[in-house]
Amino acid sequence: MDMRLESKVVVVTGGAKGIGRATVETFARQKATAVIVDKDVVAGKALEEQLNKLGLKSSFIEADLTANNSCEQVIAEAIDRYGRVDVLVNNAGVNDHKGLDASVEDFLGSLRLNLVHYFEMVKFAADSLRANRGKIVNIASKVAQTGQGGTSGYAAAKGGVLALTREWALEFANSGVTVNAVVPAEVYTPMYERELQLQPDPVAAKQAVESLIPLGNRMTTSEEIANATVFLGSGLADHVTGQFLFVDGGYTHLDRAYRGN
């Protein structure tokens, strides 16, 4: 299926690992030029090299998006290399578990880690996105809808991501730019696997989570999040905007007590 992504320039933050890596790979396979933005130089360069060896188009930009002027520099570098930005995927972030026992400074730091750079990336990419009738896809989290406990900063940030998705969908509507969010829940990434390994019984901990996911009693894969993200960033979603697409096996909205017939 032609997703109308050939010659499009796609910027993916947090693009070197996990969901971001799968998203970069999927866009590249659809003939887009994927710009990998990450602070992990080793992982970023390795992915760039791997994709280029396969004849796919990609390049790496090293960036810590929480640093001053970093987001502006990333967009400027992408435009300098390719002359445009057609799709922006805001993905970088991490659940840092800053709850009510955290300091105000830590709470604000969580917002910077998980929300502020979303605003900055869109702000500096806006002109190019408008000129090219581009697309923005924000990666959010089910925590914005369900809560989790002990993670006020991350919950506030991801709630802000969903609110900004709707706000920007309106702000960009007259220029033809679409803005949507993909909302994951339990995604089996390398980061998630590392967290499970800290549990007394990692296998039992994983099974406990999987038992709460109605569809298949399994975690979502990074590739499944990537597929949804690429759809929303493609020409097949030209009239989809302001939407939250939950890719979670029914975890957020279906009864987790369900155990089948």
Residue 214 has pLDDT above 90, yes or no: yes
Max distance between CA atoms of the chain, in angstroms, equals 57
Q: pTM for this structure? A: 0.96
Domain 9-185+221-247 CATH (choose: 3.40.50.80, 3.60.20.30, 3.40.50.720, 3.40.50.10860): 3.40.50.720
Q: Where are the domains of the chain?
A: 9-185+221-247, 188-219
Residue 31: helix, strand or coil by DSSP? coil
For residue 189, give the nearest of 153, 226, 216 by alpha carbon. Answer: 226
> Please, what is the average pLDDT of the chain?
97
Residue 259 has pLDDT above 90, yes or no: no
**Mean pLDDT (whole number) for 24-48:** 98
Task: Give pLDDT, residue 12.
Answer: 98
Task: Give the active site residue among 82, 154, 192, 258.
Answer: 154
For residue 225, give the nearest of 250, 196, 246 by alpha carbon. Answer: 246
Residues 104-123: pLDDT tens digits? 999 999 999 999 999 999 99
Confidence band of 1 (pLDDT split at 50, 70, 90): confident
Confidence band of 261 (pLDDT split at 50, 70, 90): low
Residue 260: helix, strand or coil by DSSP? coil
Residues 82-99: pLDDT tens digits? 999 999 999 999 999 999
% of residues, the chain, pLDDT over 90: 94
Q: State yes or no: is 82 an active-site residue.
A: no
